[in-house]
């Protein structure tokens, strides 16, 4: 695998070049079963384009086998993959597009509200994917935004520091634990910093929308003087090392993958409700390789592509694809792909939210 990966540091890109002989790369690829005959022209155009450029915040290490599976189907297409943080992805893509520079053909991010804003602002093009009928209705918006994954947000804990009998199974139990054992957890609880992390802001704002009890939970967390972080990996590393006892609102797919390798890590999804988010993908309005972008997006949404994602930490959005974990319907609270997410990005709404958040943290600092 390493033999065909080239890291281009300045561009923050990973290139997955052709893995086959030139003659094989020119051979027409087969149309997926069930697709209309007109899809042959999409394949032909994509092979003529020869490249698809993707900006995403899915870990490139997890995407290597996914891209390799795509390349086996379409060997003549080079995949350029930029693994970026959600904020950098948004900034870079919008800046390049406004400057009419070469940018992404596909934009794929877990920052759902930012993705919806880009679509709403006219950055995406419509595409009626042949895979749409197999997707949940809540995963598609305007035939532009496609929810590719269904990833639960949970609590990660260190098994040595949090005995099984104390592991909270709901948000209420978590609050009670933090209040009863505040001293023991002082400086040992982590969560996303909503001021620095777009996904952290999304998760926390969803908590507040689901229940007013979130304020009481955040107050209990604030009293432990929580460690505020920007990335999931930071939280997982802190819990694994024992520097942290628990981390709240962690991306569950990554947490479970880490827990499989590290016996010190436990993961729980609150039974009262578990937020389920999706990584939204869209094809850029200004895509230089629109046919190749359609090909890659359709692969991600296909049963084969979803099965690859399921094997590599990213839970599939399709319900007809086997997955190692599925939440009960009554527990899962999917975040719908749609315009309601734009409320999060209203400047005054965000400022008010962060002002309240900082006030709660400041109050917690005074707790003795």
Structure tokens at 19: 């893995």
276 in Cβ contact with 249 (< 8 Å):
no
**pLDDT of 20 strictly over 50:** no
pLDDT at 6: 33
pLDDT at position 74: 95
User: What pLDDT does residue 21 have?
Assistant: 43
pLDDT tens digits, 95-137: 999 999 999 999 999 889 999 999 999 999 999 999 999 999 9
Predicted confidence (pLDDT) per residue in 69-87, tens digit: 999 999 999 999 999 888 8
Tens digit of pLDDT for each residue in 205-236?
A: 999 999 999 999 999 999 999 999 988 899 99
Q: State the average pLDDT for the chain.
A: 89
């Amino acid at each position: 695998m390493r033999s065909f990966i080239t890291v281009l540091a300045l561009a923050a890109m990973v290139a997955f070049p052709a893995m086959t002989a030139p003659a094989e790369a020119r051979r027409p690829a087969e149309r997926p079963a069930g697709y209309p005959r007109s899809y042959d022209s999409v394949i032909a155009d994509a092979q003529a384009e020869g490249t698809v450029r993707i900006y995403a915040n899915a870990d490139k290490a997890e995407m290597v086998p996914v891209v390799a599976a795509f390349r086996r189907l379409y060997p003549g297409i080079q995949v350029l993959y930029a693994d970026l943080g959600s904020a950098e992805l948004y900034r870079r893509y919008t800046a390049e597009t406004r400057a009419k520079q070469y940018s992404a053909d596909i934009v794929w991010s877990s920052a759902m509200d930012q993705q919806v804003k880009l679509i709403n602002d006219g950055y995406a093009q419509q595409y009626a994917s042949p895979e749409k009928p197999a997707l949940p209705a809540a995963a598609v918006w305007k035939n532009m935004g496609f929810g590719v994954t269904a990833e639960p947000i949970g609590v990660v804990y260190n098994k040595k520091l949090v005995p099984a009998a104390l592991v909270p199974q709901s948000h209420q139990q978590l609050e009670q634990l933090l209040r009863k054992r505040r001293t023991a957890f002082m400086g040992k609880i982590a969560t996303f910093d909503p001021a620095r992390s777009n996904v952290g802001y999304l998760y926390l704002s969803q908590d507040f929308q689901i229940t007013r009890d979130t304020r009481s939970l955040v107050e209990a967390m604030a009293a432990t003087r929580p460690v505020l972080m920007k990335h999931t990996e930071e939280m997982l590393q802190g819990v694994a090392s024992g520097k942290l006892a628990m981390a709240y609102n962690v991306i569950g797919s990554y947490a479970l993958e880490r827990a499989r390798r590290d016996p010190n890590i436990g993961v729980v999804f609150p039974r009262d409700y578990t937020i389920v988010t999706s990584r939204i993908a869209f094809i850029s309005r200004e895509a230089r390789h629109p046919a190749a972008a359609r090909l890659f997006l359709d692969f991600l949404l296909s049963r084969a592509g979803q099965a690859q994602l399921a094997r590599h930490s990213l839970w599939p959005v399709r319900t007809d694809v086997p997955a190692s974990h599925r939440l009960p319907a009554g527990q899962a609270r999917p975040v719908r792909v749609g315009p309601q997410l734009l409320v999060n990005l209203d400047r005054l709404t965000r400022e008010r939210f962060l002002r309240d958040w900082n006030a709660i943290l400041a109050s917690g600092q005074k707790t003795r």
